[in-house]
Structure 1
């Protein structure tokens, strides 16, 4: 674990807000030179604190107006079943996130679809036919608010 000072946290907060900022612009905003800011960002990347920078797409603008969270309980347990399920579910393009979780379900999936009829097609033809699928529970996303994680 790397020790973070106030400048490191300020850099992380600024990058969470807009990851496309240059080290020069970020440095100016924080009272650092471009090279000093770049070195700090590089150090945070090398330590694994910054794991990457992602492009955030607007699913609705792309025609995907429905997001559904699925809880999946596998009918059979065992290493082969988990591996088979994970390999098959990650091949479904509408499945955006696969999380192996503890609790009532074994997996939590984030699925995007054009509309409810499209989601039903994905559920019936792709998800329900996956190896080991037992119980499935769906929760339709009504709204979402983005909250960056704590920075200490």
Structure 2
């Protein structure tokens, strides 16, 4: 599906997503038109999902990050759908993951401090539907965070 040139372009984009088409072409020893066609083809195939800005939440004053592991009341037929729909509406929830196993859902929640976190937890999280059990894990440090693939 991908040839060496495609992989090289993806490696370059992962390392520096702000590279212009001309810069990509120079780095990959290709013409700008060839790079454009290859990037466009990978986008059409759904290999690249777009570019995004990664914001350092702590630089904006968010000092608390908590991972909530939630078990849902699965006796309710719409437990997952209702819970996820409601959780999406909580602005402090950065990420929602679902699992198979004892834990059904994990939420990544941010707050400026512990007082704000307690308010978010009590007023927004605990009011989410179908929660059977919840466990909070306080985030201390991010050791590795990398979405780049080994291409």
TM-score of the superposed pair, with normalisation by structure 1: 0.91
Aligned residues: 150
Q: Which residue is equivalent to 1:81?
A: 79
Q: Which structure 1 segments of 5+ residues have no match?
A: none
Q: Which residue is equivalent to 2:18?
A: 20
Q: Which structure 2 segments of 5+ residues have no match?
A: none
Q: Deviations over 1:94-134 (max 9, x none)?
A: 00111121122110111111122211211111111111012
Q: Distance in 2 between matches of 1:88 and 1:76?
A: 16
Query: What value does the CA root-mean-square deviation take over the aligned residues?
Result: 1.5
Q: Which residue is equivalent to 2:110?
A: 112
CA contact (8 A) 2:86 2:128 kept: yes
Q: Alpha-carbon deviation of 1:43?
A: 0.8
Q: Alpha-carbon deviation of 1:137?
A: 1.1
Q: Alpha-carbon deviation of 1:148?
A: 3.0
Q: Distance in 2 between matches of 1:72 and 1:60?
A: 25
CA contact (8 A) 2:68 2:134 kept: yes
CA contact (8 A) 1:9 1:151 kept: no
CA contact (8 A) 2:111 2:117 kept: yes
Q: Deviations over 1:12-58 (max 9, x none)?
A: 12212222211111111111111111111111100000012111011
Q: Which residue is equivalent to 2:34?
A: 36
What SS does structure 2 have at the residue aligned with 1:147?
coil
